[in-house]
Amino acid sequence: MPTKDEIIERMLSSISDDYDKSEGSFIYDAVVGVATALEDGYIEMDTIIDKAFAETATDEYLDKITAELGITRKPATYATTTVRVSGTNGTIIPVGTRFFVDTVYFTSTEEKTISSGIANVPVTCESAGSIGNVPANSIVNLEAIEGVTSVTNLSAVINGTDEETDDQLRERYFDKVQTPATSGNAQHYINWCREVIGIGDAKVIPLWNGNGTVKCLVINSNGLAADSTLVSTVQSHVDANKPIGATVTVQSATELVINVSVDVDILSGYSLVSVTTTITESLKEYLKSIAFKSTFVSYALVGSKILEVPGVSDYRNLTLNSGTANVTIGSSQVAVVGTVNVT
């Protein structure tokens, strides 16, 4: 693409030297204006070309390309869980009761009555996406209801997923284009699993229990084990598409918890808390990126991820699950971050 200066030079060279073409002259100023407009046009042309191909298209332009093959972007999902409400027997927890942790609100979806001192109330996050994924025992607030003494979520919430990213959508598109799925082959089952909203990836084990049997292992879009509701949804979707006679079993991958401990040198201006948080998030992204793709967690790569964290100048005494070597990931496992002890 020619630059503005190159366009100016070409235009001025085509004008007779009998005219004043020096900077500030009428001709020069006129040429600069046209050259600027042409440069903008060339830039826009490059942008249009990028929007026309799946490799470089983004946002709604990528949506249009993938839609031609029937592949649509997965929307964000709403996190759901059950909160335990304690209080006076007979106290009613109506539909629409709001529970919250910080600024994240959950709303009850069923009316429940406290019996034997407790009521287990199903709730859904009011905001779609991973924002609704909160730790266990963190949803401890609710709108005032007389007779309620306490509330909490006994387990962590992990099933809220963000809208599919451009890279994730592009990967599914190229999988379909470059890896043909025909007649119920392994790729066909992977595609069917990935089509389900909330599923991040799938692994297929053909003939796992004899002729005609297929096992599909799945993880959610956060790179974690899929809950029973999501597994059931995948099972129904695959059963509706599978070849006649195939016996398909859909299961979630088993989480392999990776506990990390490390000593770090922290630069001035950074705190241990902020560095620990960033290290944890970086490790989550790393493990998510290798889910169903690698057979081990790399000790060296974990170290490099720690060194890349802003505020960390060096580290030592790194251990993964109390060891100083790669951690093997089983064929039916997905590695997830456990405790991250940074000192």
For 126-141, how does the pLDDT look when each residue is reduced to its tens digit (9 = 90+)?
999 999 999 999 999 9
Token pair listed for 135: 């730790």
| 48 against 248, higher pLDDT | 248
Average pLDDT over every residue of 209-214: 93
Is residue 1 pLDDT above 80, yes or no?
no
pLDDT score of 176: 87
Is residue 163 pLDDT above 80, yes or no?
yes
Residue with the two structure tokens 């609100």: 105
Question: 284-308: per-residue pLDDT in tens?
Answer: 999 999 999 999 999 999 999 999 9
Asked if 200 and 291 count as a contact pair (C-beta separation under 8 A), the reply is: yes
pLDDT score of 8: 79
| Band (13; pLDDT cuts 50, 70, 90) | confident
Mean pLDDT, the chain, as a whole number? 93
Average pLDDT over every residue of 101-125: 96
Is residue 277 pLDDT above 90, yes or no?
yes
Is residue 257 pLDDT above 90, yes or no?
yes
Amino acid symbol at 169:
L
Asked if 159 and 227 count as a contact pair (C-beta separation under 8 A), the reply is: yes
Task: For residue 304, give the DSSP letter.
Answer: H
Closest CA to 216 of 183, 167, 253: 253
| 206 against 29, higher pLDDT | 206
pLDDT score of 183: 76
Is residue 228 pLDDT above 90, yes or no?
yes
- CA 153, CA 156: separation in Å to the nearest integer? 7
